[in-house]
Structure 1
Amino acid sequence: MGFSTSGAAAILFVGVLVAVGIAYPVIQTAHEDRRAAIDDRDDRSLDLRNTDIELEATTYNDSSDNLTVNATNVGSTTLAVADTDLLVDGAYEPNDEWLEVRVNGTTGRELWQPGETLSIVVSTADRPDRVKLVTEHGVAATETGV
């Protein structure tokens, strides 16, 4: 075996080391990102299992054309009021158009703790047939025949 064969083997060996040195950090980062994504998915799944709401009362005031929706957080997950959606007869009612929002009778609250009641007042032209409240985790409660 001459010098040219040994030199070529050394160059190939160095090339393999450089390639592994470049590939390892990329593979390690991809694995860490995958692990973080799996942990996030598991956290969302746990929050979903621990979330539950009940519509306590949905009333419509004919004189003021206002609909009041009262729901209680009966799960063990704290919910964000801003991430709660309301649909009236299938039409989305944007949060910034709600006339009044109260959590346990207090305005200005951003979190809806377990056991607390959320009260939303919206203006509607007609008496609705169906009201649906959806939480940030996709858990919904529906009432028909308001």
Structure 2
Amino acid sequence: MGFSVSGSAAIIFVATFIGFGMFYSATANGFENINDAREAQTDRTLEQQNTEITVTDVTYNSTTPSLNVTVVNAGSTELAVEDIDVLANDDYLTGYRTAVDGDETTGLWLPEEQLVINATGVSPDPGRVKIVTGPGVSAVETTTVVS
């Protein structure tokens, strides 16, 4: 057995070792990304299952074209007020005021707390209002018209 056989075997061994190292690092990173995505999906699903809201009152004042919506966080998830979306008769509302248990400065809506949404300039009577939370849980209620 000459040097050429030993040298070529060493080159093949080193090439195999380097190739396996690249393959392992690429697959390990891929599996880690997949596992991270599955964990994030599980966390989102759990958050969504623990989220529940109840619309207790929707009042439309036709003289001042304003809409007042009262919603209770009936679940066990903390919700962000800025992630709340309001749709009035399928129109997306913006620029409304919010208050959580009377506090207009907080951005956190805890379980069993009441959120009051006041939207002005809503015309005509929206008929129904839909509230959508950050995790995607929603509630729909029809409006009561007052003059």
TM-score range, shorter chain: over 0.9
Q: Distance in 2 between matches of 1:121 and 1:145?
A: 13
* Higher deviation after alignment, 2-11 or 50-59: 2-11
Corresponding residue of 1:88: 88
The one-letter amino acid of 2:13's match is: F
1:107 pairs with 99, 104, 107, which one?
104
The one-letter amino acid of 1:116's match is: E
The one-letter amino acid of 2:128's match is: R
Corresponding residue of 1:39: 39
- The answer for unaligned runs of 5 or more in structure 2 is none
What TM-score do the two structures reach when normalised by structure 1? 0.92
- Tell me the alpha carbon deviations over residues 21-59 of structure 1, each in whole angstroms, 9 at most, x when there is no partner: 222222222222221111111110100100000000000
Cα-Cα RMSD: 1.2
Q: Tell me the CA shift for residue 145 of structure 1.
A: 4.5
Corresponding residue of 2:128: 130
Q: Distance in 2 between matches of 1:53 and 1:114?
A: 9
Q: Distance in 1 between matches of 2:102 and 2:76?
A: 20
- The answer for unaligned runs of 5 or more in structure 1 is none
Q: Distance in 1 between matches of 2:143 and 2:28?
A: 56
The one-letter amino acid of 2:131's match is: L
Give runs of ≥4 in structure 1 deviating > 6 Å. Answer: none
The one-letter amino acid of 2:123's match is: A
DSSP 3-state at the match of 1:119: strand
The one-letter amino acid of 1:92's match is: Y
The one-letter amino acid of 1:138's match is: G
The one-letter amino acid of 1:33's match is: N
- Tell me the alpha carbon deviations over residues 68-108 of structure 1, each in whole angstroms, 9 at most, x when there is no partner: 000000000000000010000101112xx11x210011111
- Report % sequence identity: 39
* Higher deviation after alignment, 121-130 or 3-12: 3-12
Q: Tell me the CA shift for residue 60 of structure 1.
A: 0.9
Q: Distance in 2 between matches of 1:19 and 1:28?
A: 14
Corresponding residue of 2:64: 64
